[in-house]
């Protein structure tokens, strides 16, 4: 079952910088996945509720109780850049 | 010239006041030192697994039920994928095609009778971190870099989406005001606009009056108050009207409200930025709500503003006064307390919406900040009713009570404002006034009743406003008869 995939768009959305050889390799891999999905989609599923999860479980909740947080110094030490008690990130919008 | 009708829908985000975050045990605590309320889950560290806060789900149900929504028997979390520095996982856990609450309505009234505004859905998600933009004016466009505080990341956030049923900026104001009151009444959010625990975006298009098809819509963001929502919508109505009248097309886009200039401007968004690639959140199982759970939450719903309004009318309050008191939690609770303390409903209500409101405006404070409570208000209104205080003295007493000087009784005594109705005390003063105003007394004897007011005024002046005008009037008439 042939599928059409814009692998460059998928890479862009995932912020992946891929060269032509990689694009082609991942396109082929994604194609296999999508072909499988297309086969599943072709099955008669009238009256079958959509399966969002394979586990036969619902309502896995926790109580609204506060637990311990991480140490700020330990957290910020993992950041590429920091400014005082904050994470520092490059400017967000390109356009002025 | 063609008249255009605005078609407006509003998306509201409300942070819940649970103790802990939506998917982890970090505290929900506005104003905590930056990056202290964080853990592997809300920082999106690899391998960390979210677990749903059951109380947040119940709060969400509460909102849905209060907005007359159907609660879905089966609802699912989904990943909304996009990149933004304040969102550590690079996806937001939200709900997409199976939200918790759907198909409700909230009635608003701007004076022309109730108008139902449809509620498309109420769904659960998590808030993002908070960015501070460093650079000229703190604006994102001019920033050199930004600082991120992840304390807010993962705070339970409800998205409430209205149908495009709103037809004016005034109706939009009424809608968000009513919605805020509902949320406050439910006690599930502090809904503070200035702190961002309640925020809204507007969708607005115009269409020729009398037609059905929607025009091209624009989304407006960055409105930090109900007033700025109203201003932004009115500005957008003007802008789109001008475009349409000039034969130009409205461009579908997101526009940014600028509070200083009072205008909106386009936010150029990058291509594909709205391709969120939603899919079911694999780390969280569905939420199932059975009848028993739904009924248990329904039974715990507090009285809502619309219900309080009806009850106040039944207590005999005037419509406008009932509307004001039923739509303000603070007023409502002081009113209830005053009535419970023996106050006459209409009198207490008049005090609240009249002199108390004026005093709070003058002193730029809120009812909660002032020392006015229900017991004081009941006492004050009964002191006026039984003649202990004149209407004008009562205003002074109220100011004293509000400033924390004591109970109305104490303030009236310490400020020497108790009304004098005792004729033995008043007669000598009246006689003095009559003796000093022989001409007026002549007129009165000649049948000119208009001078009574003048004479009462003189007595009031002589007593420093403490004389009971009714008692004074009686003495004057008996003396002149």
Task: List the structure tokens of B79.
Answer: 């990943």
Domain endpoint, select from B253, B280, B297: B297
pLDDT of residue A54: 84
Contact: A92, B140; criterion CB under 8 Å: yes
CA distance A21 to chain B (A): 24
Query: Both B92 and B146 in a single domain?
Result: yes
> Radius of gyration (Cα) for chain A, nearest Å?
22
CB contact under 8 A, A65 and B25: yes
A90 lies in some domain: no
| Spatial distance between the Cα atoms of A11 and B312, rounded to a whole number of angstroms | 61
Cross-chain residue pair B286–A53, CB shorter than 8 Å: yes
Residue listed under structure tokens 């993992």 = A78
Find, in chain A, the residue whose alpha carbon is nearest to that of B78. Answer: A52
pLDDT: is B477 or B280 the higher one? B280
B389-412 mean pLDDT: 89
Q: For residue A72, which residues of chain B lie inside 8 Å, CB to CB?
A: 33, 35-36, 38
Tell me: pLDDT of B110 over 90: no
All residues of chain A having their beta carbon less than 8 Å from the beta carbon of residue B84 are 92
* pLDDT surpasses 70 at B477: yes
pLDDT of residue B144: 86
Distances, alpha carbon B382 to alpha carbons B58, B298, B350, in Å: 43, 38, 13
Task: Note whether B326 and B183 are same-domain residues.
Answer: no
Domain coverage including residue B243: 4-297
Determine the structural domain holding residue A30 and report its residue range.
7-41
Is pLDDT above 60 for B230? Answer: yes
Cβ separation B52–A68 shorter than 8 A? no
Q: Which residue has the higher pLDDT, B480 or B400?
A: B400
In a domain, A91, yes or no: no
Nearest CB to B25; choose among A13, A66, A95? A66
Q: Give which of B37, B96, B133, B147 to mutate to test A binding, by max A Cβ within 10 Å.
A: B147
Task: Say yes or no: B472 and B379 in one domain.
Answer: no
Q: Is the pLDDT of residue B271 over 50?
A: no
B-contacting residues in A 18-47 (Cβ below 8 Å): none
Tens digits of residue pLDDT in B202-215: 999 999 999 999 99
Per-residue burial over A56-92, b if 16 or more Cβ lie within 10 Å, else e, is eebeebbebebeebbeeeebbeeeeebbeebbbbebe
Same-domain status, B21 and B145: yes
The verdict on a CB contact (< 8 Å) between A89 and B33 is no
Residue B19 with chain A: CB contacts under 8 Å: 64-66
pLDDT band of residue B111 (cuts 50, 70, 90) is confident
Shared domain check, B337 and B261: no
Total of domains in chain B: 3
Q: What is the pLDDT of residue B138?
A: 67
Verify that B222 and B328 share a domain, yes or no.
no
In this predicted structure, what is the pLDDT of residue B450?
A: 84
Which residues in A lie closer than 8 A to residue B81 (C-beta atoms)?
13
How far does B56 lie from chain A, in Å, by closest CA?
A: 8
Domain boundary among B414, B438, B454: B414
Average pLDDT, chain B: 91
Q: Is residue A95 part of a domain?
A: no
Give the closest-approach CA distance of B140 to chain A in angstroms. Answer: 7
Q: How many residues does chain B have?
A: 481
Mean pLDDT across B120-139: 89
**Which chain B residue's Cα is nearest to A62?**
B53
Contact call for residues A59 and B288 (beta carbons, < 8 A): yes
* Residue from B285, B287, B289, B290 whose CB has the most chain A CBs within 10 Å, to mutate: B285
Is B40 in the same domain as B189?
Answer: yes
Structure tokens at B190: 């502090």
pLDDT at B228 over 90: yes
Judged against a pLDDT cut of 70, whether residue B272 lies above it is answered with: no
The bridge status of strand B52-53 relative to strand A61-62 is: parallel
Nearest-Cα distance to chain B for A55, in Å, is 8
Report CB contact under 8 Å: B54, A9: no
Task: Give a yes or no: residue A68 inside a domain.
Answer: no
Q: Are residues B287 and B354 in the same domain?
A: no
Mean pLDDT of B146-165: 97
* pLDDT for the residue numbered B269: 57
Nearest CB to A75; choose among B43, B282, B287: B43
**List of chain B residues whose C-beta atoms are within 8 Å of the C-beta of residue A86:** 34-35, 132, 147-149
Among chain A residues, the shortest Cα distance to B57 is held by: A61
A6 in contact with B, Cβ within 8 Å? no
pLDDT in the model for residue A68: 96
pTM: 0.80
Task: Please name the residues in contact with A31: beta carbons below 8 A apart, sequence gap of 6 or more.
Answer: A3, A5
The string of pLDDT tens digits covering residues B166-178 is: 999 999 999 999 9
Domain count, chain A: 1
> What is the ipTM score, two decimals?
0.90
B291 with B332, same domain: the answer is no
Q: How many CB pairs under 8 A join A and B?
A: 132
What does the pLDDT average to over B356-374?
A: 91
Window 44-73 of A: residues touching B by CB (8 A cutoff) are: 52-53, 55, 57-70, 72
Nearest-by-Cβ selection for A89 from B36, B141, B146: B146
- Residue B187 and residue B59 in one domain: yes
Note the pLDDT of residue A95: 44
In this prediction, residue B135 has a pLDDT band, given cuts at 50, 70 and 90, of: confident
The predicted model gives B244-267 an average pLDDT of 91
Q: Is A26 exposed, middle or buried (0-12, 13-18, 19+ CB in 10 A)?
A: middle
B17 contacts on A by Cβ (under 8 Å): none
- When CB atoms are compared, the residue of A9, A86, A91 closest to B149 is A86
Domain end residue (candidates: B414, B449, B467): B414
Residues in chain B with CB shorter than 8 Å from the CB of A37 are none
Chain A: closest CA distance from residue B11 (Å): 24
Facing residue for B272 by CB, picked from A9, A66, A68? A9
Q: Are residues B348 and B435 in the same domain?
A: no
pLDDT digits (tens, 9 = 90+) for B44-59: 999 999 999 999 999 9
pLDDT at B329: 83
In sequence order, which residues have a C-beta less than 8 Å from that of residue B424 and are 6 or more positions away? none
Could you tell me which chain B residue has the CA closest to the CA of A81?
B147
Q: Which residues pair with B159 in a beta bridge?
A: B13, B123
Pick A60's closest partner by Cβ from B37, B52, B133: B52
Is pLDDT larger for residue B33 or for residue B328? Answer: B33
Same-domain pairing of B174 and B97: yes
Positions in chain A whose pLDDT score sits under 70: 1-2, 94-96
Shortest distance, CA A25 to any CA of chain B (angstroms)? 22
* pLDDT at residue A1 in the model: 55
CA B154 to chain A, closest CA, distance in angstroms equals 13
């Amino acid at each position: 079952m042939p599928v059409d995939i814009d692998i460059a768009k998928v890479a862009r959305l995932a912020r992946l910088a891929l060269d032509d050889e990689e694009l082609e390799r991942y396109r082929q891999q994604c194609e296999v996945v999508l072909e499988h999905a297309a086969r599943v989609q072709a099955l008669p599923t009238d009256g079958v509720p959509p399966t969002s999860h394979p586990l036969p479980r619902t309502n896995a909740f926790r109580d609204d109780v506060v637990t311990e947080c991480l140490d700020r110094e330990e957290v910020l030490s993992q950041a590429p850049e920091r400014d005082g008690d904050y994470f520092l990130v490059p400017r967000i919008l390109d356009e002025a | 010239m063609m008249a255009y009708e605005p078609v407006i829908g509003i998306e509201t985000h409300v942070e819940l006041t649970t103790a802990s975050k939506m998917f982890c045990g970090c505290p929900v605590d506005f104003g905590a030192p930056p990056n202290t309320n964080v853990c592997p889950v809300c920082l999106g560290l690899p391998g960390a697994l979210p677990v749903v806060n059951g109380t947040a789900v119940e709060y969400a149900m509460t909102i849905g039920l209060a907005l007359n929504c159907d609660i879905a028997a089966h609802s699912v979390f989904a990943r909304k994928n996009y990149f933004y520095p304040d969102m550590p996982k690079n996806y937001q856990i939200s709900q997409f095609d199976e939200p918790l609450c759907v198909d409700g309505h909230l009635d608003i009234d701007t004076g022309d009778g109730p108008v139902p505004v449809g509620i498309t859905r109420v769904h659960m998600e998590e808030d993002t971190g908070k960015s501070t933009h460093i650079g000229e004016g703190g604006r994102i466009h001019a920033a050199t870099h930004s600082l991120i505080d992840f304390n807010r990341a993962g705070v339970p956030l409800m998205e409430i989406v209205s149908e495009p049923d709103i037809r004016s900026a005034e109706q939009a104001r009424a809608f968000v005001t009513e919605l805020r009151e509902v949320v406050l009444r439910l006690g599930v959010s502090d809904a503070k606009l200035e702190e961002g625990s309640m925020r809204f975006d507007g969708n607005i298009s115009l269409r020729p009056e009398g037609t059905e098809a929607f025009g091209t819509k624009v989304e407006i963001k960055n409105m930090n108050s109900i007033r700025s929502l109203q201003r932004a919508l009115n500005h957008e109505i003007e802008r789109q009207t001008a475009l349409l009248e000039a034969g130009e097309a409205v461009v579908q886009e997101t526009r940014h409200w600028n509070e200083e200039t009072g205008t909106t401007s386009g936010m150029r968004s990058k291509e594909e930025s709205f391709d969120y690639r939603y899919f079911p959140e694999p780390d969280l199982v569905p939420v199932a709500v059975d009848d028993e759970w739904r009924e248990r939450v329904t039974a715990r719903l507090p009285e809502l503003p619309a219900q309080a309004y009806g009850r106040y009318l039944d207590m005999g309050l005037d419509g406008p006064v009932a509307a004001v008191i039923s739509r303000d939690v603070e007023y409502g609770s002081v009113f209830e307390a005053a009535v419970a303390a023996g106050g006459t409903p209409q009198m207490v209500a008049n005090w609240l919406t009249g002199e108390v409101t004026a005093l709070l405006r003058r002193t730029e404070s809120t009812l909660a900040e002032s020392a006015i409570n229900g017991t004081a208000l009941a006492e004050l209104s009964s002191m006026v009713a039984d003649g202990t205080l004149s209407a004008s003295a009562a205003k002074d007493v109220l100011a004293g009570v509000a400033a924390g000087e004591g109970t109305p009784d104490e303030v009236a005594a310490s400020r020497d404002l108790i009304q004098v109705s005792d004729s033995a005390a008043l007669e000598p003063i009246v006689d003095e006034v009559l003796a000093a105003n022989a001409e007026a007394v002549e007129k009165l004897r000649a049948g000119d009743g208009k001078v009574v007011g003048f004479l009462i005024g003189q007595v009031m002046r002589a007593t420093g406003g403490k004389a009971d005008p009714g008692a004074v009037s009686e003495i004057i008439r008996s003396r002149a008869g």
